[in-house]
Amino acid sequence: MLTRARPIAASIALAAGLAAAALGASGAAWGGEQAYEPMAASVRSVLAAAIAEQDDPEPRFASVTEKVDWLSQMSAKLPRRWKPSYRQRVEFLTAVRYEAQRAGLEPELVLGLIEVESNFRKYAVSSAGARGYMQVMPFWTDLIGDGNRAALFKEAANLRYGCLILRHYLDQEGGNLFRALGRYNGSLGRAEYPRLVQRAWERWQYRPQSLRTAAR
């Protein structure tokens, strides 16, 4: 399972690229109000398969030392109001890291986005109807899922949808994170939201123990 993150991200990118080529040939919660857009069948198929896949959420770490250090450092930054116990924080962070890596995203970017979107509230609902940690619009469950909108309040499902949607937008925008974040939030072309996520991402950056020790 540890080798799946890159192939899934590459498959989505390939499908998006083929679809783009075909189109070219033929002519308190922020609430990520992703807009429904027509989607090529190839892209939809890859995303649907990635959503439905049953797997064991085991993220990648370079070593056991890095695993312990990363989880400890990230845990200290999570709001205790929503994740009061260390076990809850570790389980959440493990899921975030796995789904981020699976989609070819940096876990710290995803944590920054969650902070901006929902401030880590599992049951957050925006005025636009976006749900959960990553504020996923319910239409996505019909488009690439099984239509179960209640699943967006489940940790694993919400993180999977959110990470794959952001990956889809990144591929759609040729890797341009500014524009991808704009699409994710329904504010394409405006700078405020991407800047908020960028600042949050910077706060979540991981500093390995060796660098922290050397800086003393």
Specify the pTM.
0.82
Region 147-157 average pLDDT: 97
Residue 26 pLDDT exceeds 90: no
The pLDDT of residue 81 is above 80: yes
Question: For 27-72, how does the pLDDT look when each residue is reduced to its tens digit (9 = 90+)?
Answer: 345 555 688 888 889 889 999 999 999 888 899 999 999 999 999 9
> What is the maximal distance between C-alpha atoms in the chain?
60
Q: Mean pLDDT across the stretch 115-142?
A: 96
pLDDT confidence band for 206 (50 / 70 / 90): very high
Please check the confidence at residue 179 and state whether its pLDDT lies above 60: yes
**How many domains does the chain fold into?**
1
**What confidence score (pLDDT) does residue 5 get?**
39
Q: Domain of 95?
A: 5-214
What CATH number has the domain bearing residue 99?
A: 1.10.530.10
Top-confidence residue, 56 or 129:
129
| SS3 per-residue string spanning the chain | CCCCHHHHHHHHHHHHHHHHHHHHHHCCCCCCCCCCCCCCHHHHHHHHHHHHCCCCCCCCCCCHHHHHHHHHHHHCCCCCCCCCCHHHHHHHHHHHHHHHHHCCCCHHHHHHHHHHHHCCCCCCECCCCCECCCCECCHHHHHHCCCCHHHHHCHHHHHHHHHHHHHHHHHHCCCCHHHHHHHHHCCCCCCHHHHHHHHHHHHCCCCCHHHHHHCC
End-to-end CA distance of the chain: 38
Cβ proximity of 99 and 159 under 8 Å: yes
Cα angle 205, 211, 216 (rounded to 5 degrees) comes to 115
Q: Which two tokens stand for residue 134?
A: 């990553």
Residue 99 has pLDDT above 50, yes or no: yes
**Contact criterion met (CB below 8 Å) for 171 and 80:** no
